Amino acid sequence: MTTIHRAFSTYRSCSALACLALIAGCASAPGDVAPKSNGWMKDEVSDSYVFGYPLVLMDVARESATGSGPGQAAPNTLRHAQSLPPVGASSPLEPNLDTLTSSGWLDVSSEPVLVTLPDTHGRYMDARALDMWTNVVWSTAGAQSGERVSGLKAQTIAFVPAGWKGTLPARVKRVDVSTRYVWFLARIQTRGGADIAAVRRLQHGLQVTALS
């Protein structure tokens, strides 16, 4: 059974249990006793769905993206797009046609994972990291005004498991993460054609290493 099938199977099972609970709550009480309101139960089911959905969605995405198959990358490594997608093939995750994307899933369960960004020498670059709740825990949007447009300077970010106590290398920015996995994405501007070779060199400058 595939990861997506398992996720949706779990979702269907939870939905079925929730429906049974709602039906039981709506059943008429014996005699003249008025049925109890089940509004609280609907709220609980709704809140549980909203609470758990991001975790299921992100885990399905993680399992489909990690591995040794085509289009996959091992944990704590990056997969680099080598060419621009064809016209009309953009997706909600890659809504543009003028950048090459590098992405990967970081596992910070045992120790910090360091991501090094190269100096882009004036080229536009956007990078961000999301936890399993889909919260953006770090991004280049926090850079100084105009820096993403005029290019990024070389820098290293350490994604650290919450509560970790230890020493990081000098001049490394610490980012605490409350979930085991982190989804890292970086997009680098390209003008297509011969310019793609320059972007690929920058992609290879993106380094992911465990602290140890």
Question: pLDDT of 135-174, one tens digit each?
Answer: 999 999 865 445 556 789 999 999 999 999 999 999 999 9
Encoded tokens for 117: 């960004």
Tell me if 70 is assigned to some domain.
no
The reported pTM is 0.72
How many folded domains does the chain comprise?
A: 2
- Total Cβ atoms within 10 A of residue 127: 23
Same domain, 166 and 115: yes
Mean per-residue pLDDT of the chain: 79
For residue 63, the model assigns a pLDDT of: 92
Same domain, 61 and 99: no
Q: What are phi and psi of 44, to 5 degrees?
A: -65, -45
Tell me if 59 is assigned to some domain.
yes
Same domain, 113 and 40: no
pLDDT in tens, 10-21: 444 444 434 434
Same domain, 119 and 54: no
Tell me if 71 is assigned to some domain.
no
Contacts 24+ apart (CB under 8 A), 89-94: 94/187
Same domain, 137 and 202: yes
The domain of 204 spans 79-86+94-210
Tell me if 13 is assigned to some domain.
yes
Q: What is the dihedral of CA 109, 112, 118, 123, to 10 degrees?
A: 50
pLDDT in tens, 41-78: 767 767 776 777 888 899 999 999 998 888 889 999 99
Same domain, 100 and 203: yes
Tell me if 72 is assigned to some domain.
no
Same domain, 13 and 100: no
Q: What are phi and psi of 141, to 5 degrees?
A: -65, -20
Same domain, 59 and 154: no
Tell me if 199 is assigned to some domain.
yes
Tell me if 190 is assigned to some domain.
yes
181: CATH = 2.60.40.1610
Tell me if 73 is assigned to some domain.
no
Same domain, 60 and 135: no
For residue 94, the model assigns a pLDDT of: 53
